[in-house]
């Protein structure tokens, strides 16, 4: 059977995996040993994992991050999250249709006391913030445990195939996220005092100062002197009819499938949300050979970096600002999505509806801090710190820097470090967190001789690797600020080495070389999409920064420096002098999907599912609010919103929003009480059964 | 100025059904609670078990009446409160529990309860997978059951409102007000409210409430933790109560609710006295070890959530219901010892009749047994 996998990728290697066989509802299939069940199923084009016990609606992947429980399947008779459970040979996997049946395994069990492990520092989350903190602690020989629920370190760095922003010295600017993860991991491994527990999930912080950590084979209690919460963020969701259909999921989930697991999970996607996450996801989609029919954004401008947006536009993706998603249609999976334009009051403008045939709708409407452990620990009086997205949503480069600072703060609190934390670190951390600045006019140099880079970045973002890599040291940023726009100080010194072109994370720098032929200068364009589209002699459609076509030009040469700039190709074309300096990108997505499919008014906004776990709709919540409910705990008592497996991780902000829409003063609304467990854990594990001695 | 016939302090397991009963009698009633909605104190921490199979006559009487109210609520009033007649099962593995359980069977039967001692095979049928090793049988009372405390209190609340009862939420009672040795109302952070009768349905907070009028009420809260699992296909319906003690705990109990979720709770030994409701790391391993020993297949069910609630304990494990003799007009309906949810509707009606002076013969048993002025000598066998 055809496997829906990404077999070639411009950036990622496609490793050789051990093929194993398994069954899905009795049907034989093949997958890779150790990959997550969800990815194995997607590779076999299975996207509906079961049907909800309340309304029999189809369920599938949603967070792909172990948090939501929507991807539940029965594996070897036990209900498991398919996105967190590795596949093995001979596995019998079944869909969960209705309630799962508890296996009638009545063998008596033996339990052992759960040991309490004392440690100086416990770090929750092995992502950018947690790892950089651990490095500081490791340098000082402080005993540290890092707990992470995935099978490898790096957190969301693992999903990031693009080159990072920031600066080279502080946040590995110019290096790709997944490569940074490896670098950080390698450094962690050199510190003896740092232990890493993978596949281990924190299930709760308790009032006795103990953090409970569950893995597949055991439950452990950790009593840290200092706790660092670096649990990152979770994706926010939108309310629209059809939002619970399989095929609607987060951009992060998409990146997990595509970039981590190399699964070709879709043919055509529409992306909702023009922040960096949505923009990058669009880029990743095209790198994976998936068509992006459009990216929509409700605001009048995209919120992410302009260079990210430009990259997408140049590839041929329409970015529609001032648009919202009206509904998603499909019988048991996404088949189409309807969008419409918004007026100044955020109301849908009549007759602006457009319906795209897509199989996937990615939601990238922002992130929310995973801060429940931090809040509980603080409430319980523990000595707790937070870094990265768990503290404040920002770029991973900021998280890395923040982790470093918190690591040293913790060391200081432990009296294991008596130096100072440089004041400029805090300033740097702030800068790395800064939102993209205003957009200035394009500043293409006047000159048309010699060789020099043209920088097409016109928006202040914290990024300066071009200044670090220039061997002639002639690239600087305005006022030498990391957020300043780059410029060349002495054009005569440029030797045309292309280092700045290759490292630019925004793919916004080109090299124009007039030396051979001033009328037909050679233009070097950075390129990271399918290599077969830029063979020597092939005609490529070159665009300016905004995606306007500048004409088709034959490829003169393709430079690949695998070692120095893996993944970035430097494509050279000769262009007319008039347009040479305007050239930036190569249009890849040739055909555009026609959004003219007719939209028939279907489900109403009140049919949108707010609490996915308990399938509670916007209408049910609205009606309770209209009956006077202002306490989210009472709301839950009445209709179970937030009582499901995930513990209201996704629905809580959506419920707040409905209160707001209903004109309730949010100051009068009582928030829900959060309680452990963070994820569901088998009672036997909590009881102290160790895997392997269940037959005692 | 707000004036009422009766003020009920506490919109919980006792307060709301009591107000409902008062409202039905046409008594102008206000319920005051510092929380923002009904049942946000300890009611929501109840796991939902409802039984009449107690060992003392008054509890059996009000238990039977409560059962009747819960069991017929949906039929009469239309609101689903997830009532399930699953019965209560006390499995027996040792002679100590066998003697204790068989010892109270005569009085239980005499008061009309459907309960008996069944052999091990019957117990195994009722709870498939229960550990058969040394299982000697157990008592089972099929007419007991369970309901959702969350849905039930909201149903009672709506009914009370329909009867004209007022509710003041987010209002913290600062003091009971007295005039000439009589109760005249309360002062809250929202002002003074007048009423000749104030019902103390404050549960774990009764002591603090009554102290404001110099009244001592013997309620000592202690805490118990509970947990709920993911839903799985129903495989047993009864509440299973294992009375055996173990290091650190006395009995524990669990059932599978209408959603298919297993809900459980344990009695710590020694008791954890106080009002601390923060989750501890000890609970799940403790109850988990006991549950998987009793019903090994539960090892694979996944725990979803835990919480900790308060049992407002009286000195002898029975409720405190009756007029205060020192402060006239002050009525205690408190000290439910963790059984407020299951006893609430039954006791609420008795309280309303006592306030309205329309008590029945059966009420005398209740009034005597639950009197705040009784001798606190004995201990309820099935606390």
| Chain B residue nearest residue A690, CA to CA | B299
| Chain A residue nearest residue B289, CA to CA | A687
Q: Which of residues 249-268 of B touch A (CB under 8 A)?
A: 260
Q: What is the pLDDT of residues B188-210, one digit of tens each?
A: 999 999 999 999 999 999 999 99
Same CATH topology for A116-233+369-433 and A451-586: the answer is: no
Dihedral sign (CA B302, B303, B305, B311):
positive
Residue A168 has pLDDT above 50, yes or no: yes
pLDDT band at A365 (very low <50, low <70, confident <90, very high): very high
On the 0-12 / 13-18 / 19+ scale of CB atoms within 10 A, B95 is exposed
Write the DSSP assignment of A490-502 as a string of letters: -GGG-----HHHH
Of B232, B296, B305, the CB nearest to A101: B232
Q: What is the pLDDT of residues A574-605, one digit of tens each?
A: 999 999 999 999 998 777 787 877 676 667 78
| pLDDT score recorded for residue A696 | 33
| Chain B residue nearest residue A636, CA to CA | B150
- Best B33, B148, B299 residue to mutate vs chain A (most A CBs within 10 Å): B299
| Chain A residue nearest residue B294, CA to CA | A108
Q: Which of residues 236-275 of A touch B (CB under 8 A)?
A: none
Tell me the nearest-neighbour CA distance from A56 into chain B, angstroms.
15
User: Residue A108 and residue B296: Cβ atoms within 8 Å?
Assistant: yes
Q: Which residues of A510-539 are buried (b: 16+ CB within 10 A; e: fewer)?
A: bbbbbeeeeeebbbbbbbbbeeebbeeeee
User: Residue B299 and residue A684: Cβ atoms within 8 Å?
Assistant: yes
pLDDT band at B142 (very low <50, low <70, confident <90, very high): very high
Interface membership of A630 toward B (CB under 8 Å):
yes
CA separation (Å) from A293 to A312, A320, A546, A644, B372?
A: 11, 11, 17, 34, 74
Residues of B in contact with A691 (CB under 8 A): none
Instruction: Give every CB contact of residue A239 below 8 A, 6+ residues apart in sequence.
Output: A605, A608, A610, A618, A654, A657, A658
Q: What is the pLDDT of residues A230-258, one digit of tens each?
A: 999 999 999 999 999 999 999 999 999 99
Tell me the nearest-neighbour CA distance from B203 into chain A, angstroms.
20
List strand residue ranges (DSSP E) for A7-151, in order: 19-24, 27-32, 50-51, 58-59, 72-75, 78-81, 92-97, 116-124, 144-147
Give the whole-angstrom CA distance, residue B45 versus residue A45: 44
Q: How far is CA A6 from the centre of its chain?
A: 18
Overall CATH class of domain A608-696: mainly alpha
Residue A1 has pLDDT above 90, yes or no: no
Of A207, A219, A694, the CB nearest to B280: A207
Q: What is the pLDDT of residues A621-676, one digit of tens each?
A: 999 999 999 999 999 999 999 999 999 999 999 999 999 999 999 999 999 999 99
Number of CB atoms found within 10 A of residue B360's CB: 11
Domain A116-233+369-433 classified CATH 3.40.50.1000? no
User: Around A656, how many Cα atoms within 13 Å sit in the side-chain half-sphere?
Assistant: 12
Tell me the nearest-neighbour CA distance from A174 into chain B, angstroms.
43
Give the whole-angstrom CA distance, residue A370 versus residue A389: 7
Q: What angle, 0 to 180 degrees and rounded to 10, lies between the N-to-C axes of helices B149-162 and A632-639?
A: 100
Residues of A in contact with B289 (CB under 8 A): 111, 687-688
Give the whole-angstrom CA distance, residue A571 versus residue A540: 10
Residue with tokens 């929202």: B190
pTM (two decimals): 0.95
| pLDDT score recorded for residue A690 | 74
Q: What is the pLDDT of residues A132-155, one digit of tens each?
A: 999 999 999 999 999 999 999 999
Query: A389 by DSSP, 3-state: which?
Result: helix
Supply the CATH classification number for the domain A19-101+237-363: 3.50.50.60
| pLDDT score recorded for residue A407 | 98
Q: Are A636 and A613 in contact (CB under 8 A)?
A: no
Q: What is the mean pLDDT of residues B68-90?
A: 97
Residues of B in contact with A647 (CB under 8 A): 304-305
Q: What is the pLDDT of residues A486-533, one digit of tens each?
A: 999 999 999 999 999 999 999 999 999 999 999 999 999 999 998 888
List strand residue ranges (DSSP E) for A416-473, in order: 451-455
**By percentage, how much of chain A surpasses pLDDT 90?**
88
Query: Dihedrals φ, ψ of B210, to 5°?
Result: -70, -30
Q: What is the pLDDT of residues B221-257, one digit of tens each?
A: 999 999 999 999 999 999 999 999 999 999 999 999 9
User: Residue B232 and residue A99: Cβ atoms within 8 Å?
Assistant: yes
Instruction: Give the residue from B48, B52, B47 showing the smallest Cα distance to B115.
Output: B52
Q: What is the mean pLDDT of residues A361-365?
A: 97
Give the whole-angstrom CA distance, residue A659 versus residue A8: 47
| pLDDT score recorded for residue A194 | 98
List strand residue ranges (DSSP E) for B173-243, in order: 173-179, 182-188, 191-194, 197-200, 220-231, 239-242
* Average pLDDT over chain B, rounded to an integer: 96
Dihedral sign (CA B50, B53, B55, B59):
positive
Interface membership of A689 toward B (CB under 8 Å):
yes
Q: What is the mean pLDDT of residues B330-338?
A: 97
**Fold of the CATH domain A451-586:** Alpha-Beta Plaits (3.30.70)
Q: Are A312 and A283 in contact (CB under 8 A)?
A: yes
Of A53, A99, A104, the CB nearest to B129: A104
Prior bond to A677 cis, omega within 30?
A: yes
Q: What is the pLDDT of residues A193-217, one digit of tens each?
A: 999 999 999 999 999 999 999 998 8
Q: What is the DSSP letter of A574?
A: E
Prior bond to B270 cis, omega within 30?
A: yes
Tell me the nearest-neighbour CA distance from A60 into chain B, angstroms.
18
| pLDDT score recorded for residue A159 | 95
* Average pLDDT over chain A, rounded to an integer: 94
Token pair listed for B73? 């609520």
Q: Which of residues 148-207 of A touch B (CB under 8 A)?
A: 204, 206-207
β-pairing, B173-179 vs B182-188, is antiparallel
| pLDDT score recorded for residue A438 | 86
- Most distant pair of Cα atoms in chain A: their distance: 85
Q: Tell me which range, A8-12, A686-690, B319-323, B358-362, is most confidently predicted by mean pLDDT.
A: B319-323
pLDDT band at A441 (very low <50, low <70, confident <90, very high): confident
Interface membership of A653 toward B (CB under 8 Å):
no
Give the whole-angstrom CA distance, residue A144 versus residue A325: 45
**By percentage, how much of chain A surpasses pLDDT 70?**
98
Q: What is the mean pLDDT of residues B28-48?
A: 98
Q: What angle, 0 to 180 degrees and rounded to 10, lies between the N-to-C axes of helices A396-413 and A128-139?
A: 40
| Chain B residue nearest residue A78, CA to CA | B300
Domains and CATH numbers, chain B: 2-51+150-219+316-369 (3.50.50.60), 87-142+221-313 (3.30.9.10)
User: Residue A683 and residue B298: Cβ atoms within 8 Å?
Assistant: yes
Tell me the nearest-neighbour CA distance from B133 into chain A, angstroms.
10
Residue B380 has pLDDT above 70, yes or no: no
Q: What is the mean pLDDT of residues B119-141?
A: 98
Residue A694 has pLDDT above 60, yes or no: no
For chain A, the domains span 19-101+237-363, 116-233+369-433, 451-586, 608-696
Residues paired with B177 in a beta bridge: B185
Write the DSSP assignment of B231-298 as a string of letters: E------SEEEE---BTTEEEEEEEE-TTSEEEEEEEESS-EESS-----SSHHHHHHHHHHHHSGGG
Q: Which of residues 140-159 of B touch A (CB under 8 A)?
A: 150-151, 153-154
- Count of A-B CB contacts under 8 Å: 162
Tell me the nearest-neighbour CA distance from A485 into chain B, angstroms.
51
Q: Are A403 and A388 in contact (CB under 8 A)?
A: yes
């Amino acid at each position: 059977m055809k496997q829906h996998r990404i077999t070639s990728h411009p950036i990622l290697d496609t490793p050789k995996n051990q093929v194993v066989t398994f069954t899905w509802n009795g049907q034989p299939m093949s997958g890779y040993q150790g990959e997550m069940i969800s990815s194995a199923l997607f590779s076999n084009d299975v996207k509906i994992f079961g049907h909800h016990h309340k309304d029999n609606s189809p369920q599938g992947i949603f967070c792909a991050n172990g948090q939501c429980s929507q991807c539940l399947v029965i594996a070897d008779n036990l209900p498991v999250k398919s996105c967190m459970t590795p596949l093995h040979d001979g596995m019998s996997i079944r869909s969960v249709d209705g309630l799962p049946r508890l296996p009638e395994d009545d063998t008596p069990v033996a339990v052992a006391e759960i040991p309490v492990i004392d440690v100086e520092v416990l770090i929750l989350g092995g992502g950018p913030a947690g790892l950089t903190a651990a490095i500081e602690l490791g340098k000082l020989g402080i005993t540290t445990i890092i707990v992470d629920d995935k099978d490898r370190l790096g957190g969301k760095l693992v999903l990031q195939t693009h080159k990072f922003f920031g600066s080279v010295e502080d946040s590995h600017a110019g290096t790709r996220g997944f490569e940074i993860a490896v670098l950080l991991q390698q450094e962690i491994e050199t510190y003896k005092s740092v232990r890493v527990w993978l596949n281990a999930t924190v299930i709760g912080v308790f009032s006795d100062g103990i953090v409970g950590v569950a893995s597949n084979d055991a439950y452990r209690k950790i009593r840290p002197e200092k706790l660092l919460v670096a649990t990152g963020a979770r994706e926010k969701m939108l309310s629209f009819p059809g939002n619970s259909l399989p095929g609607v999921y987060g951009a992060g989930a998409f990146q997990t499938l595509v970039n981590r697991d190399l699964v070709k999970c879709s043919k055509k996607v529409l992306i909702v949300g023009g922040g960096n996450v949505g923009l990058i996801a669009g880029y990743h989609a095209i790198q994976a050979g998936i068509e992006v029919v459009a990216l929509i954004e409700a605001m009048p401008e995209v919120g992410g970096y302009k260079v990210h947006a430009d990259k997408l536009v140049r590839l041929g993706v329409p970015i529609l600002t001032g648009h919202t998603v009206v509904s998603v249609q499909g019988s048991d999976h996404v088949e189409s999505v309807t969008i419409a334009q918004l007026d100044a009051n955020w109301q849908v403008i009549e007759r602006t509806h457009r319906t795209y045939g897509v199989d996937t709708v990615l939601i990238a409407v922002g992130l929310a801090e995973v801060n429940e452990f931090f809040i509980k620990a603080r409430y319980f009086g523990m000595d707790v710190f937070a870094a990265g997205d768990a503290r404040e949503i920002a770029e991973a480069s900021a998280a890395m820097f923040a982790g470093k600072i918190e690591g040293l703060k913790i060391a200081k609190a432990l009296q294991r470090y008596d130096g100072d934390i440089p004041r400029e670190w805090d300033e740097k951390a702030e800068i790395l967190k800064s939102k993209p600045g205003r957009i200035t006019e394009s500043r293409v140099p006047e000159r048309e001789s010699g060789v020099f880079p043209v920088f097409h970045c016109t928006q202040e973002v914290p990024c300066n690797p071009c200044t670090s890599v220039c061997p002639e040291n002639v690239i600087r940023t305005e006022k030498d600020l990391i957020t300043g726009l780059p410029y060349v100080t002495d054009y005569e010194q440029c030797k045309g080495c292309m280092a700045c072109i290759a490292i630019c994370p925004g793919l916004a720098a080109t090299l124009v070389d007039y030396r051979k032929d001033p009328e037909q200068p050679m233009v070097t364009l950075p390129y990271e999409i399918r290599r077969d589209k830029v063979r020597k002699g092939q005609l490529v459609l070159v665009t300016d920064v905004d995606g306007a076509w500048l004409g088709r030009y034959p490829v003169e040469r393709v430079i690949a420096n695998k070692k120095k700039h893996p993944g970035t190709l430097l494509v050279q074309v000769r262009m007319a002098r008039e347009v040479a300096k305007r050239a930036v990108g190569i249009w890849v997505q040739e055909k555009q999907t026609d959004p003219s499919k007719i939209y028939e008014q279907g489900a109403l906004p009140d049919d949108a599912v707010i609490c996915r776990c308990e399938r509670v709709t916007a209408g049910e919540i609205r009606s309770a609010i209209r009956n006077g409910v202002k306490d989210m705990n009472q709301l839950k008592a009445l209709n179970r919103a937030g009582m499901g497996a995930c513990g209201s991780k996704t629905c809580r902000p959506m419920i707040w929003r409905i209160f707001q829409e209903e004109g309730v003063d949010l100051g009068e609304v009582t928030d829900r009480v959060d309680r452990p467990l963070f994820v569901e854990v088998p009672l036997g594990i909590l009881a102290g059964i160790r895997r392997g001695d269940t037959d005692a | 100025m707000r004036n009422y016939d009766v003020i009920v302090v506490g919109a919980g397991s006792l307060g709301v059904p009591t107000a409902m009963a008062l409202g039905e009698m046409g008594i102008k009633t206000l319920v005051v609670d510092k929380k923002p909605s009904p049942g946000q104190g300890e009611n929501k921490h109840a796991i939902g078990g409802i039984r009449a199979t107690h060992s003392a006559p008054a509890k059996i009487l009000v238990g039977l009446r409560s059962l009747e109210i819960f069991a017929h609520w949906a039929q009469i009033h239309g609101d689903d409160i997830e009532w399930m007649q699953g019965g209560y099962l006390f499995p027996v593995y040792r002679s100590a529990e066998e003697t204790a359980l068989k010892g109270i069977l005569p009085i239980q039967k005499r008061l009309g309860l459907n309960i008996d001692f069944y052999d091990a095979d019957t117990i195994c049928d009722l709870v498939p997978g229960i550990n058969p090793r040394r299982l000697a049988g157990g008592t089972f009372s099929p007419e007991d059951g369970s309901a959702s405390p969350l849905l039930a209190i909201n149903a009672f609340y709506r009914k009370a409102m329909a009867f004209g009862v007022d509710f003041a939420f987010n209002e913290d009672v600062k003091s009971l007000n007295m005039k000439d040795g009589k109760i005249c109302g309360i002062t809250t952070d929202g002002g003074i409210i007048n009423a000749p009768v104030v019902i103390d349905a404050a549960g774990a907070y009764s002591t603090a409430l009554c102290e404001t009028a110099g009244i001592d009420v013997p309620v000592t809260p202690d805490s118990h933790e509970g947990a709920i699992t993911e839903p799985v296909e129903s495989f047993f319906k009864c509440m299973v109560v294992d009375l055996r003690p173990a290091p650190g705990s006395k009995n524990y109990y669990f059932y599978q609710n209408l959603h298919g979720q297993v809900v459980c709770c344990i009695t710590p030994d020694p008791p954890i006295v106080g009002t601390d409701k923060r989750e501890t790391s000890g609970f799940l391993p403790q109850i988990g070890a006991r549950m998987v020993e009793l019903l090994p297949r539960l090892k694979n069910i996944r725990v979803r959530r835990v919480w900790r609630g308060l049992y407002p304990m009286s000195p002898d494990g029975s409720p405190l219901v009756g007029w205060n003799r020192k402060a006239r007009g002050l009525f205690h309906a408190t000290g439910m010892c963790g059984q407020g949810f299951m006893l609430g509707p039954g006791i609420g009606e008795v309280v309303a009749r006592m306030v309205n002076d329309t008590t029945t013969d059966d009420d005398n048993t209740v009034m005597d047994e639950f009197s705040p002025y009784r001798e606190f000598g004995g201990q309820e066998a099935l606390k």
